[in-house]
Structures are given as structure tokens and as C-alpha cells.
Chain A
Amino acid sequence: MKLTGAQIFVECLLKEGIDTIFGYPGGAVLPIYDALYNAPLRHILVRHEQGAVHMADGYARATGRPGVVLVTSGPGATNTVTGIATAYMDSIPVVVFTGQVPTALIGNDAFQEADIVGITRPCTKHNYLVKDVKDIAKVIKEAFHIALTGRPGPVLVDLPKDILNAQTEFKYPEKVDLRSYQPTYEGHPGQVKRALDTILASKRPVIYAGGGVLLSGASNELKSFAEKLGIPVTLTLMGLGSFPGTHPLFLGMLGMHGTYTANMSVTNTDCLIAIGSRFDDRVTGKVDEFAPYAKIIHIDIDPTSISKNVRVDVPIVGDVKFVLKEILKGLTESKRKKDTLSEWHEQVKKWKDTHKLSYKQNDKIKPQYVIEKIYELTKGDAIITTEVGQNQMWAAQFYLYDSPRQFLTSGGLGTMGYGFPAAIGAQVAFPHKTVIDIAGDGSIQMNIQELATAVQYKLPVKVAILNNRFLGMVRQWQEFFYEKRYSYTCMDAAPDFVKLAEAYGAVGLRAEKPEEVVPVIKEALKVNKPVLMDFRVDREEDVYPMVPAGQPLNKMLLV
């Protein structure tokens, strides 16, 4: 039987097991929207295409399954770019389908034409312009394969309108045949052996794990590995949740706003085991003085991440889960006496005991306090998303994440406006879980329009706005490094978030004094509707510790 390109598109998604699309229609994708009219697929109609991509991204991070986006050509396509770049930096499997003008018009500056394949080439893992209806099925199969395998990432497929209307036989390919794309999953056995020897010979080892552990689904392996040898673990922002935040071996996050213990441990370790992490500059501080005494072992599926900015002694290219399993196999507990690390553990404990994360309570609402209370009242069990800025760092520090895929944040690109739509995406995937976006008053205004989406689909996401009426993180830098010259970081004309929520048909709550914080959170958790919580926090609270950019990790500014 012959199908149109649009019908083939729908059939392919069903074959891939997709049940949800985040999208926004327009002229070029009308054939697909017509095919969707009766299709057994859930379509979430967003309010802005950037929101659609962040939702698909949040859905993917929360579930591990690919997020799917459908938008029209031209402005619909260009509106997705920030979302795509966000997913690209954090290696999130999102597949974006864009409509395109008919093939005969491509290159003619046709109405709503944009060269979206050209525009997104540097921020997708791969992208396609389909030029023949016969290729649609193959391209879609490849797109999902590429998005999900190896180091995951976003893939864009551009679909000209005439291709969507043309007809052909539909046959979904059984498997993908890409001779030029063969990710390495198995680590080199010789390197695994060398890594083991290095680890067993060390006296002050530290595991520094990142988002790769989550992407590879290797949290259990990471835990067994750390516990078997008693190795302390620090996580990057992207890695939070991959090792339990309440575990005695957990040191907290490292880097610019990392804990004292994590940064000191990394500075003093003699064996740094980097697992699915990529030595980002926000993590390393001054690269030359990063882990100066350490032999460095680096396990990563992406060869380009290895020896990119830090020299590595034992590189292992491979899937984190696979390699950790191999390492575990090579480990018999007898190989190392239990007490070999006792001095190191004592040192770490001393750092921990003397430098807990803290803040000074006064008569105002402290943003950290709000997060502590959210943690308590959700029993540590909520899915937390964040915006970008101080809110993001406090959410990373004061909520302890025990499960993978529980903390969703834009780490690599640092996209303000990410958290709210990502929370909606996560809520779509888990309708019965508590999903909370920890936001700043600046960031939340970047995709606030998606409140209408949450209301329309009865998605009870909660937003905790830490409202300081500043672009807080930028203000903090101005305070520290520009003599408090608060140049254009004061947002005095914020909307009344309570009224705003109500205008959208959501619930708005406000806390102005510390004692109002708990009742507001309790109320928000009780209502089965989207809620904006407006916490009027101490305006000039700063995030500590802080390693000034370009300084080594042990040069922290402390509370």
C-alpha cells in the first residue's frame, strides 16, 4: 500500500515506540498535522517552539527515551535553535522534525524558508534534509539511532512539504546501516587493567563522575565500584543523582560553586577517576592547577572528550556502564586491605565536618532555606528542574538527589528559560510525580508563556521562584569583580507572579516572611494544578563557596 510522506512520518514514530510529540503547527507541516489528526500519538501544543524543545529535552532526561519535536519551517524552525543547542551541550537525545518549503523553492528565499540544516549543523549531532519521499523512513530510523547511541545528542530532520505529500510504499527498515558510525562501547582491556592497577596503588583516590553516568544508566555500577573500594565520589552539576546525595562517600558537587570538601579532595587526590565527565572549565578552575598530584583515569564514550583540556594518564574510550562492569569484574576485595584508605577518609571527614554548606539566617527569606524546605517536604523524592543562575546553584547544593534522572538542568549551555518547559516535559512523562522548577525571577520570564501549556494539559508542575528582583548571578559577579556596579541587572518591574498565575488559570502563592515559606510549599504540593510560588528572598544573597573564574579550585571564597 502506498502512503504519503506525512503518513509515513507518523508510522515511523509509532514503530519507534514514540507516544508523545511536542509541537507547533504551520503551513509547511500541515500535511503532518493532518496525518496526526486521528493518529494514536499524544501531541502537546506548546506556546513557543523553544518551549517544545526544552519539553522534549526534559522528557528525555527524565525517562531516557528520546524526546520528539515537530515544528514548521522558517520561524518555527529557527525558534528551536536554543533548545537544540541546549540539548547538544548536555548530550540529550532529542529528535526535531522541521517542515521545509517545497524542494522546488529551496534556495529561492521562499516564504518562511530558512536553511535550518545549515543553521543547526554545529549544534546537532547530525541533521538531514530529506529530498525524496523514499528516504523518509530510512532517515527517521537513522535519526533515532544516532540520537540515542554512542554519546547521545539532538538530531534534526528537515522535511520539505512536497515530500510530505508525495507517495511511496512504506517499509520501515529493520536495522540501520551506517558504516561510518560505529561508537566504541567496550573499553580496551589493557587500559582497564592499567586503570585498576593505578586505582589499587593509590592512597587518596577520588571519583569525579558526570552526566555520562546517567546517560549510560550506570548508577548502580558506580555505586558498587565506589563502595567496594571505599572511594569518595564527587559529581558535576550534570552528574547529580548518579550517585546518592545522602551517601556517606558523597563529597558534594565540585567546581566553581562546589563544596569545600569536593574541591579540596580533588586538589589533593593522587588518583582522579573521571567517569563520564569532560573537565569543563566550570569544573576545573585553572586547568594547570587542577588535580596537580593525581594520576588521571578518564572513562568516556566520546574520544574527543579525552585529553581535550587536561592531560590524562589512562584514557579509556567506552561506554561507562560497560567499562565499570569490566573494572568490577577485575576487582576482588582481597586485592586491597580495607584500611588502606583510612587516613584519606579521616582527612575527607575533617574537611566535611569543618566546612558544611551553610548560610546566615536573618529575618528575611533565604533562598537556600526555601530549597531545604522543598527537600524536606518532598522527602527528597521530587523531580527538580532549574533555571540558570543562583537558583540553579542553590538547587544543586541544598537538595540532595538520591536517584538518577531526578535533577534536570542546563549545564553546558546554561540556558535561562530551560527549567520550566523541562519540568512540563518531565511531568508529561510522569503525571503522578511531583515536579518542581527552581527558578529565578529573570529566567522564569523567558518561557513563562508555557504556563498556558501546563494549564491546558492539566500538568500540575510547580515553580518556586526565588524572587530577588535581580539577575542574581550576574549581580553577584558585579558585586565581587566590578565593585558593586550593578549595571542593568536590577529587574525592578517584575510582574505580580500571583496575579500572573491566576490570569493563566494556574495557582499563585506568595511568601514574604520566613514563616510563610513552609505553608506556601505545603499548599503548592497539595493542589493538583500548576502553581507559581513567589518567594521574596533576601535580595543580595550570594552563592558560596565560589572559585573565581581562572583560579585553582582550592582558592575558594567562603561564606
Chain B
Amino acid sequence: MRHIVSVLVDNEFGVLSRVAGLFSGRGFNIESLCVAETIDPKVSRMTIVTTGDDQIIEQITKHLNKLINVIKVSDLTAEDHIERELAMIKVNVGEKDRAEILSIIDIFRAKVVDVSPKTYTIEMTGDGEKVNAIIELLKPFGIKEIARTGKIALARSQKTK
């Protein structure tokens, strides 16, 4: 099963390679991995999407915890959480396709962030499925390039007072 593991780490050089090395060395999968600084500049958050049965996920979280530079590990899959992905899609626009593409963009609440005579570059944010869906719909027009982030995710705050 697919899991989103959120990891707070020391914001130091070499930490990413410790985490990546742990996954490759022990034969764990990484589907995607995103890293950026948190509000505390000494700490970064890594969001790792991985797959495995419960026993493997347990080993992954335990091993992550064992790394000296790892501060906190949470498996968000088990919790109520929000996840997002960002994609930039450069698509061909022929004269007659313009309206149709714009309407797709509209439906998905995506944005055009760059325009050239023959292409649009579209910014799309959403969960992975939405991003996949817009890509499918744009494919027939000819996608020239795609850049996709992995997933980022946060646990939802408690709604009660």
C-alpha cells in the first residue's frame, strides 16, 4: 500500500543523502520525495511517498527515526491529512484548440503562467489524481514538457475547540 511519510529533519548538508541512502540500501521504494525548509530554518520537512506492506512501512519509520538527523516521523496515511501536488505542463495550442484548452484549465482551476504563440504553460495544483486527470485531457493537444513535484502533505488540524 501507498504511504505518505512526513519527516522533520535537521536542515544540514548530507541529510538528504542519508535518507535516500537508507531507502536504497535497504531496498525500500521511493515514489516521490519533496524537501524544503520549515518555518524554523534549522529544520526541513521531507514528504516521502513510498509503498510497502505494514511490516515494511513499520521498518521504514523505525529506520528513519534511527537516523541521528531525523527529528520526527509521521505516517500521514493513517491520519486525516491534506495532500497536494504541483505540475507545470507545457502544451501545444493550435489556433482552433485555444478555447477548448482554456475551458479545461477553467474546469480544473488551473492557471496559464506563460504564453507563447504556439504553447501555453499551465500551472496545476491538486491531489495526484486531479493532476493526472488534467494531463490526460491535455495529452491529445500534444504535451511538450512536464515538471511535477512529488506530493507534499500535512495532517489536518483538529476541528474541535
Contact = CB atoms under 8 A, between A and B. Distances in A.
The answer to whether A binds B is yes
A304 B68 contact: no
A181 B69 CA distance: 8
A181 B68 contact: yes
A248 to B, nearest CB: 38
Contacts of A180: 9-10, 68-71
Interface string B125-141: 00000000000000000
A307 B10 contact: no
B63 interface: yes
A122 B21 contact: yes
Given A117-B14, A121-B17, A304 B62 contact: yes
Given A118-B17, A121-B18, A308-B59, A146 B68 contact: yes
B66 A302 contact: yes
Contacts of A493: none
A360 interface: no
B65 interface: yes
Nearest to A302: B66
Nearest to B24: A122
- Place the interface of chain A in its size category: 10 to 19
Contacts of B62: 303-304
B58 interface: yes
A1 interface: no
A179 interface: yes
B92 to A, nearest CB: 42
Contact of B25 (A118, A122, A178): A122
Contact of A303 (B18, B65, B70): B65
Contacts of B10: 180
A304 B71 contact: no
Nearest to A150: B66
Contacts of B157: none
Most chain A CB atoms below 10 A, which of B17, B63, B68, B70: B68
A127 to B, nearest CB: 9
Contacts of A138: none
B71 A179 contact: yes
A458 interface: no
A258 to B, nearest CB: 27
Interface string A161-200: 0000000000000000011110000000000000000000
A260 to B, nearest CB: 32
A178 B68 contact: yes
B103 interface: no
Interface residues of B, number: 18
Contacts of B70: 180
B59 A304 contact: yes
Contacts of B68: 125-126, 146, 178, 180-181
A447 B71 CA distance: 41
A302 B66 CA distance: 8
Contacts of A126: 68
A449 to B, nearest CB: 32
A307 B14 contact: no
Contact of B58 (A117, A125, A307): A307
A274 B21 CA distance: 30
B158 interface: no
Interface string B1-13: 0000000011000
A302 B59 CA distance: 11
Most chain A CB atoms below 10 A, which of B21, B55, B66: B66
Contacts of A125: 68
A177 to B, nearest CB: 12
Contacts of A303: 62, 65-66
B66 A304 contact: yes
B16 to A, nearest CB: 11
Interface in B15-55: 17-18, 21, 25, 55
A307 B60 CA distance: 12
Contacts of B71: 179-180
Contacts of B17: 118, 121
Interface string B70-86: 11000000000000000
Nearest to A303: B62
Nearest to A117: B14
Contact of B63 (A117, A146, A181, A304): A304
B55 A307 contact: yes
B153 to A, nearest CB: 21
B105 to A, nearest CB: 43
Contacts of B58: 307
A130 to B, nearest CB: 12
A146 B58 CA distance: 23
B52 to A, nearest CB: 13
Interface string A420-458: 000000000000000000000000000000000000000
Nearest to A308: B59
Contacts of B55: 307
B49 to A, nearest CB: 21
Interface string A57-77: 000000000000000000000
Interface string A104-118: 000000000000011
Contacts of B18: 121
10 contacts: A121-B17, A121-B21, A122-B25, A129-B14, A146-B68, A179-B71, A181-B68, A304-B59, A304-B62, A304-B66
The 8 closest A-B pairs by CB, nearest first: A180-B71, A304-B62, A126-B68, A303-B62, A122-B25, A181-B68, A304-B63, A121-B21
Given A302-B66, A308-B59, 4 more contacts: A118-B17, A121-B21, A180-B71, A307-B58
Interface of A: 117-118, 121-122, 125-126, 129, 146, 178-181, 302-304, 307-308
